[in-house]
């Protein structure tokens, strides 16, 4: 019912030349994918990625977007600028932004609204830190992050939004959440969406990915869980062979 969606998040990796090599390798490897395929790339790689993926099943995303239309925000990029380049998706509220760059639940909400207003599809990240998990705060944290992210967002936008549950302690650590841990927390997020938008919408429309050391070895088990609709892939998305294996799980 909910179509799986596998997205790569390249983070701060790949020059234009490296982008050309990786995307060219990837295109034939994922051409028969049953899942939606997205690559979220650095700003400098967007034009090349869009050019190369034209007419393929690979969709291109950015890794952040500012909420203002334009103005004195040195170093920022607006939704308009991304749309002009042919970007379709945008990662919002990644834990690395929350951790290192002052991202808050409020700015996540503002970015999400700006993205939607310009027809971009947000991939909204939520997830607890190790400290929060060990303090039994996982539920409280993901519920708060979800509720705040979706403030004033209309139900008819939900088909264009993806949620990514990324436990911070599983990112880049090689430590994956067990499929049960991932499924349980994603269920909490879906229940939260059901409270906000109704059971039917949460069940049929809302797609929720897992992210955190997802790779060819664990993708099958994770994707077999009933609540997990896809993956947001960091490290393994930087190698065509690995990312294609995840996409074609």
By C-alpha distance, which of 171, 170, 176, 202 is closest to 189? 202
Run of H or E including 109: helix 105-117
Does the active-site annotation cover 84?
A: no
Minimum Å gap between C-beta 127 and ligand 13P is 9
- Which residue number, 8 or 78, has a Cβ lying nearer to ligand 13P? 8
d(CA 85, CA 78): 11
d(CA 160, CA 206): 9
Contact 227, 183 (CB under 8 A): yes
How many alpha carbons fall within 13 Å on the CB side of residue 156?
A: 2
Report, in Å, the least distance between residue 213 CB and ligand 13P. 4
Residue 22 or 196: the one with the smaller Cβ distance to ligand 13P is 22
CB of 172 to ligand 13P, least distance (A): 4
Q: Which is nearer to ligand 13P, 9 or 78 (CB)?
A: 9
CA separation, residue 155 to residues 159, 195, 198, 238 (Å): 8, 12, 9, 34
166 catalytically annotated: yes
Among the options 94, 118, 128, 132, which is catalytic? 94
Q: At closest approach, how far in Å is the CB of 139 from ligand 13P?
A: 21
Dihedrals phi, psi of 210, to nearest 5 degrees: -105, 145
* Bridge-based pairing state of the strands 230-233 and 207-211: parallel
Q: How far is the CB of 232 from ligand 13P (least distance, A)?
A: 4
Query: Which one, 108 or 171, has the nearer CB to ligand 13P?
Result: 171
What number of other Cβ atoms are within 10 A of residue 76's Cβ?
14
163, β-bridge pairs:
124, 208
Q: What are the backbone angles phi and psi of residue 78, rounded to the nearest 5°?
A: -95, 165
Options 103, 132, 166, 227, the catalytic residue: 166
Nearer to ligand 13P, 58 or 164 (CB): 164
What are the residues binding ligand 13P (CB under 6 A)? 9, 94, 166, 171-172, 211-214, 232-236
Q: Which residues are known to be catalytic?
A: 94, 166
């Amino acid at each position: 019912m909910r179509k799986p969606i596998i997205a790569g998040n390249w983070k701060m990796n790949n020059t234009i030349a490296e982008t050309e090599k990786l995307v060219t390798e990837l295109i034939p490897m994922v051409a028969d994918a049953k899942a939606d395929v997205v690559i979220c790339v650095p700003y400098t790689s967007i034009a090349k990625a869009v050019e190369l993926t034209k007419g393929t099943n690979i969709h291109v995303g950015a890794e952040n977007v500012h909420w203002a239309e334009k103005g004195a925000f040195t170093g920022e990029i607006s939704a308009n600028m991304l749309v002009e380049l042919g970007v379709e998706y945008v990662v919002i509220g990644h834990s690395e932004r929350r951790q290192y760059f002052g991202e808050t639940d409020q700015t996540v909400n503002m970015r999400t609204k700006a993205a939607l207003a310009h027809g971009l599809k947000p991939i909204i990240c939520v997830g607890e830190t190790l400290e929060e998990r060990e303090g039994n705060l996982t539920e409280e944290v993901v519920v708060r992050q979800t509720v705040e992210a979706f403030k004033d967002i209309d139900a008819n936008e939900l088909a264009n939004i993806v949620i990514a549950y990324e436990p911070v302690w599983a990112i880049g650590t090689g430590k994956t959440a067990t499929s049960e841990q991932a499924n349980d927390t994603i269920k909490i997020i879906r229940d939260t969406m059901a409270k906000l938008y109704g059971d039917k919408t949460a069940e049929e429309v809302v797609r929720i990915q897992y992210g955190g050391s997802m790779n060819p070895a664990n993708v099958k088990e994770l994707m077999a869980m009933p609540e997990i609709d896809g993956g947001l892939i960091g490290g393994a998305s930087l190698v065509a062979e690995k990312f294609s294996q995840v996409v074609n799980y």
